[in-house]
A and B are shown apart, each in its own frame.
Chain A
């Protein structure tokens, strides 16, 4: 037994050297060389300052911007979480109804069946950076009016910023909200 313990401890330290020191350091080095922003996370800039992480969603609730999805953690990227509300929870369903009502008030002329469900539900991480194309298009009329822009131009912008499924075959089409709003600010 004693020899087992001693062997186990020494073996553990050997493994630690390889798996907990060399492996992460090597990956850190490779990341510095090849990953976007040296492995510190891809950022987006506007007017010479960092305005956000490309992959991390942020809160947009201003009517002049495309809204992002509701978030259970208010887009706090230092404490990601979903709502974890069950599908039959009455309080939760009331919240969804309230979100829908709010959305319809801010977007006059839009009917409930034009609102895709992601605009009234929270994402898994609370940091979803995307909307579906429909989720962006349904907001175009509101933004066009507030910014005095042509709705056609905005629709075109959404289409331009839509990321198609992988190789056109696999997955979902989506729009990165931060990227879209940055482009929106640059639109003349």
Chain B
């Protein structure tokens, strides 16, 4: 077998094998059981709570949870605006980079607070090291926000007490996910990945740019910085914001094939483990395996065509007679190759990482479409914590539709799913098409009004895809881009900033609200009349729901962009 394919297959299987025990561990942390790491991290945790005046044993309702979560996010946003708009005179700025404009700081702050990491700047010239470290901090805590929200969902689904006085989770379980030092595997993993990166040549320095004269006599400047620490959390937290403009295609962020494998492993691990954690926590392993199977099938349906088409190469370049045995290598690095780049392009878009090791703008038309689809669905694995929340929405809709089809009252985990829950689920599910299509329509209208706007890097169908991709990436909190788009201007900074907020918090509030409502209902033990949700039949049902919602919402836009481009190249 081809060594490029073998590498991809090996890392995929290895990740899944480790995700299972990791899921069990996360479930233990969530249920407040003692783990072997408690003696180390317990005292630090208690200190944190004492200093911040938090009573870890006080119960909170799901509304209080959400309030606490939104408050702390708002605090981060304000601090972020301050740092990014004052970098020029603050310390740790050896390259003398400028502060951000207000609209860029707005976009960047939101983007990193919501775990998206859309970047309308380039790290080399757009940030000081203080700015980089601040954003690194946000990469830690924003991942934790998603995990904490997922914890609330897990708890609410488990509780069976009535009358219901909160979701039965202490502040302790909720907040212990904020400082990841409470999540020791997480921190151990981050440190391990940082060290691997450093050993392989990723810099970890506070020195500024170096100027050297190359072998041929050209003078070049080489940007450096505390890269390794940044890149580790960028992947483990499914953040994806690059230290440098070229993200993980840059050889100092991703020096060789081994580091690329490590980064692929790191970004999939927690999203995959969260699904298993769901099963362990609720003691419904079969349900978790069904969910995982649906996600995996969806993932494979997107990733296999991408690997194939990237390895096949660009037909327009084949027509010139060039040897394309390396595949479509424009925008790709030799040390990764086309197969890994194809795999990475889908992995990073199904989960909400958005880091890239190759430029998506230069991938083949149908690969671009699959990257878009991965973000439109946004629930095949999905980001840290939020993936399972997004999937939960599809699950509720599927329960409802399946219930209607067989004429039974829709139930999930012993709780009746009624009009109110389904309404919330539908609104949450339909918000994405509204934001993506609305945003793309607005930008397309503007460029038609004024074709001189310096936005598009490519003409025709592909130019439309660039705008569609940016809006989709913002809504999915993904952060990758068709980076040819000239997006550092008030229109893109503000429009995607707003979409980022809505695309982050509504899909968190929706599922948590549904779970909170379900939690307060009477528990009905499963009987002969119950619709079984952990069967493969129901798995097919969920898959169909996802496919139909996605196709109905997005097919017209995809037909105008990547599909039209594909046929124009035949």
Which A residues contact B (CB, under 8 angstroms)? 1, 3-12, 14-16, 18-20, 23-24, 26-28, 30-31, 34-36, 38-43, 46, 49-62, 65, 69, 75-90, 92-93, 96-97, 100, 111-118, 120-132, 134-135, 165-166, 168-172, 174, 178, 181-182, 185
Give the docked Cα–Cα distance between A89 and B204 (Å): 39
Known interface pairs A82-B359, A83-B330, A88-B316; A128-B569 also in contact (CB < 8 Å): no
> In the complex, are the beta carbons of B3 and A172 less than 8 A apart?
yes
> In the complex, are the beta carbons of B484 and A85 less than 8 A apart?
yes
Asked if B106 is at the interface (CB within 8 A of a chain A CB), the reply is: no
> In the complex, are the beta carbons of B249 and A39 less than 8 A apart?
no
> In the complex, are the beta carbons of A40 and B195 less than 8 A apart?
no
**Residue numbers in A under 8 Å from B261 (CB-CB):** 166, 170
**Residue numbers in B under 8 Å from A117 (CB-CB):** 313-314, 317, 322-324, 326-330
> In the complex, are the beta carbons of B332 and A131 less than 8 A apart?
no
Q: Produce 1/0 per residue, B397-437, CB < 8 A to A.
A: 00000000000000000000000000000000000000000
> In the complex, are the beta carbons of A124 and B212 less than 8 A apart?
no
> In the complex, are the beta carbons of B6 and A84 less than 8 A apart?
no
A84-B362, A84-B457 given. 8 additional CB < 8 A pairs?
Answer: A11-B54, A12-B79, A46-B215, A85-B361, A116-B326, A130-B333, A166-B258, A171-B7
Give the docked Cα–Cα distance between A60 and B217 (Å): 10
**Residue numbers in A under 8 Å from B459 (CB-CB):** 89-90
Give the docked Cα–Cα distance between A171 and B343 (Å): 13
Known interface pairs A19-B140, A20-B137; A27-B229 also in contact (CB < 8 Å): yes
Give the docked Cα–Cα distance between A178 and B320 (Å): 29
| CB closest residue in chain B, given A27 | B229
Asked if B336 is at the interface (CB within 8 A of a chain A CB), the reply is: yes
Identify B250's interface contact among A58, A80, A111, CB under 8 A: A80
> In the complex, are the beta carbons of A84 and B361 less than 8 A apart?
yes
Known interface pairs A53-B212, A127-B246; A58-B317 also in contact (CB < 8 Å): no
> In the complex, are the beta carbons of B322 and A112 less than 8 A apart?
yes
Binds A, one of B15-23, B29-37, B174-182, B297-305: B174-182
| CB closest residue in chain A, given B458 | A86
> In the complex, are the beta carbons of B133 and A24 less than 8 A apart?
yes
**Residue numbers in A under 8 Å from B190 (CB-CB):** 23
**Residue numbers in A under 8 Å from B356 (CB-CB):** 124
Identify A88's interface contact among B54, B244, B258, B460, CB under 8 A: B460
For the complex of A and B, the 9 pairs showing the least CB-CB separation, nearest first, are A84-B484, A124-B249, A170-B7, A86-B462, A31-B204, A125-B246, A112-B321, A82-B359, A80-B246
**Residue numbers in A under 8 Å from B357 (CB-CB):** 124
**Residue numbers in B under 8 Å from A121 (CB-CB):** 317, 329-331
Q: How large is the interface on B (under 10, 10 to 19, 20 to 34, 35 or more residues)?
A: 35 or more
> In the complex, are the beta carbons of B214 and A51 less than 8 A apart?
yes
Interface residues of B in 200-242 (CB under 8 A from A): 201-207, 209-210, 212-216, 218, 220-224, 226, 228-229
16 contacts between A and B (CB under 8 A): A4-B67, A14-B48, A15-B137, A15-B140, A28-B226, A55-B255, A78-B124, A81-B246, A83-B359, A84-B361, A84-B457, A85-B362, A96-B320, A113-B322, A120-B317, A178-B215
> In the complex, are the beta carbons of A93 and B224 less than 8 A apart?
no
Known interface pairs A28-B206, A124-B331; A15-B71 also in contact (CB < 8 Å): no
Shortest C-beta distance, A148 to chain B (Å), equals 20
| CB closest residue in chain B, given A6 | B53
> In the complex, are the beta carbons of A169 and B3 less than 8 A apart?
yes
Identify A171's interface contact among B137, B337, B457, CB under 8 A: B337
> In the complex, are the beta carbons of B569 and A80 less than 8 A apart?
no
Shortest C-beta distance, B562 to chain A (Å), equals 10
> In the complex, are the beta carbons of A50 and B179 less than 8 A apart?
no
Shortest C-beta distance, A40 to chain B (Å), equals 5
